[in-house]
């Protein structure tokens, strides 16, 4: 199993919110340069994991929420997301991102296995 962080993304982030989130991620990359590896490929996402044997599941968040009318997931709550970190050091970067987003976007509920 493993220690897990959970969140719901019900809405797209506004341009202002996304800028703040990206700025916070830039700070995290600087502070955690020996802990995380940035795997971000597009400007509308943030993707990272722990380095080397300190990796577990990749954390990923996108500017736009998944569309509610996606029939592939009919009857499922597609706002729900999670990232298992097994409490490895990069868990602090994941939790920092989630708490930061929750602070600027109150309709972004978060929780964890603690």
pLDDT at 66: 80
104 in helix, strand or coil? helix
Tens of pLDDT, residue by residue over 29-72, are 999 999 999 999 999 999 999 999 999 999 999 999 986 655 66
What is the number of other CB atoms lying within 10 angstroms of the CB of residue 21? 19
Q: Tell which residue, 87, 85, 11, 94, has the closest CA to residue 47.
A: 94
Alpha carbon distances (Å) from 36 to 26, 39, 94 = 12, 9, 10
CATH architecture of 4-112: 2-Layer Sandwich (3.30)
pLDDT top residue among 78 and 89 = 89
- DSSP H helical ranges for 14-87: 15-31
37 in helix, strand or coil? strand
pLDDT at 70: 59
- % of the chain surpassing 90 pLDDT: 83
Structural contact between residues 79 and 67, judged by C-beta atoms closer than 8 angstroms: no
What dihedral angle (degrees, nearest 10) is formed by the CA atoms of 46, 51, 57, 63?
0
């Amino acid at each position: 199993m493993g220690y897990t962080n959970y969140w719901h993304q019900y809405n797209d982030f506004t341009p202002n919110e996304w800028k703040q989130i990206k700025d916070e991620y830039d700070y995290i990359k600087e502070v955690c340069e020996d802990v995380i590896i940035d795997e971000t490929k597009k400007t509308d996402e943030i993707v990272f994991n722990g380095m080397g044997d300190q990796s577990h599941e990749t954390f990923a968040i996108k500017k736009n929420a998944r569309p509610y009318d996606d029939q592939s997931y009919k009857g499922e709550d597609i706002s729900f997301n999670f990232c298992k970190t097994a409490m490895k050091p990069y868990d602090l970067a994941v939790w920092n991102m989630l708490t930061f987003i929750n602070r600027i976007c109150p309709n972004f509920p978060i929780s964890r296995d603690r």
